[in-house]
Amino acid sequence: MNNRLLKSVSVLTVGLVLAPVFAMTASADGGDYDSNGYVSFEAGGTVIPVDPLSPTDLITPTNPDGTTPATGTAGPLSIDFASSLSFGKQAISSLDATYYAHAQYISGDKDGTTVDETRPNYVQVTDNRGSGSGWTLTVAESNQFVTGDGNVLTGAELTFWKGKTLGTTSFTPSYVATNKEVISTADTKIIAAAAGEGMGTWAYRLGDNSDYQENGGAHLILDAVSTASPITLKVVAGTNLAKVYTTTLNWKLSDTPEN
């Protein structure tokens, strides 16, 4: 308001001084005038899952057992989604064996179209804080694979490989885990954005669709066997009983920037 008033006074003063000159010449048309533009932003809200192959497309992922995934974390710096993993129903082997995770199943709606497809397993992070201050994403097992009655899959090794990151902006995080990573009960760094990086939504996927091979189809993920995947579970012979073993993957997103 004050700026506008000062500018008006200035124009009026010039007009008074030049008035005698104008009276002696032809009247002038035109002139200059300044107006202003304003926009204000605030931190964003909840983000729904995107396609890890095309992050501008929205999808509806499904858990391996057909249930709906949990809602992402709250706040403008958020974990929006992380795949749950299934290694199928396996026959016990007398030798050490490696098993492969199934792909992420998507169903229902994708940008208004009904789909029935698979995608690479992935985790999705969004930074809509508007500060550009960076962040770090880690993952760890809550415990070794174990049965409901406490039988531990001793020596089992969960491994991630072929990590790739695709986002909705050009501010790519400087650290992305691309090599083989053994996931244990210790935190493993997956993505880290330095200050000025990581704004927008980012999907970290493990491989491409071509890296997954399904036997039995997407609808049979809990019982079917996958024969290729960038996510493997190595099991030591003699450690597994004819039971179901589970673990929980703890994904942690902090506002600590990459150095």
User: In the structure encoding, which two tokens stand for residue 27, read together?
Assistant: 């009247």
Look at the chain and count its residues: 259
> How many Å apart are CA 125 and CA 216, to the nearest integer?
31
Is 50 exceeded by the pLDDT of residue 256?
yes
pLDDT value of position 172: 97
Question: CA-CA distance, 188 to 204, in Å (whole number)?
Answer: 14
According to the model, what pLDDT value does residue 110 have?
Answer: 63
Give pLDDT, residue 7. Answer: 27
Quote the percentage of the chain above a pLDDT of 90.
68
Q: In the predicted model, what is the mean pLDDT of residues 187-193?
A: 98
Q: How far apart are CA 108 and CA 59, in angstroms?
A: 8
14 pLDDT exceeds 70? no
What would the DSSP string read from start to end of the chain? -HHHHHHHHHHHHHHHHHHHHHHHSPPP---------------------EETTEEEEE--EE-TTSPPPPPPPPSSEEEEEE-----------SS-EEEEPPPEEEEEEETTEEEEEEE--EEEEEE-SSS---EEEEEEESSS-B-TT--B-TT-EEEE--EEEEESSS---SEE--S-EEE-SS-EEEEEE-TT---EEEEEEES-GGG-EEES-GGGTTTSEEEE-SEEEEE-TT---SS--B--EEEEEESPPP-
- 112 CB contacts (<8 Å, ≥6 apart)? none
The whole-number average pLDDT for the span 97-123 is: 85
Categorize the per-residue pLDDT at 177 as very low, low, confident or very high, splitting at 50, 70 and 90.
very high
Q: Which residue has the higher pLDDT, 185 or 22?
A: 185
Nearest to 140 by CA among 166, 158, 121: 158
Cα 251 to chain centroid, rounded: 11
pLDDT given at position 6? 23
- Write out pLDDT tens, residues 44-100: 777 889 999 999 988 889 998 889 999 999 899 999 999 999 999 999 999 999 999
pTM score of the predicted model:
0.83
Q: Which residues of 166-205 are buried (b: 16+ CB within 10 A; e: fewer)?
A: bbeeebebbbbbeeebebeeebeebbbbbeebbbbbbbbb
Amino acid, res. 222: L
Q: What is the mean pLDDT of residues 236-246?
A: 96
**Residue 23: predicted pLDDT:** 52
Instruction: Check residue 20 and give its pLDDT.
Output: 52
- pLDDT for 128 beyond 80: yes
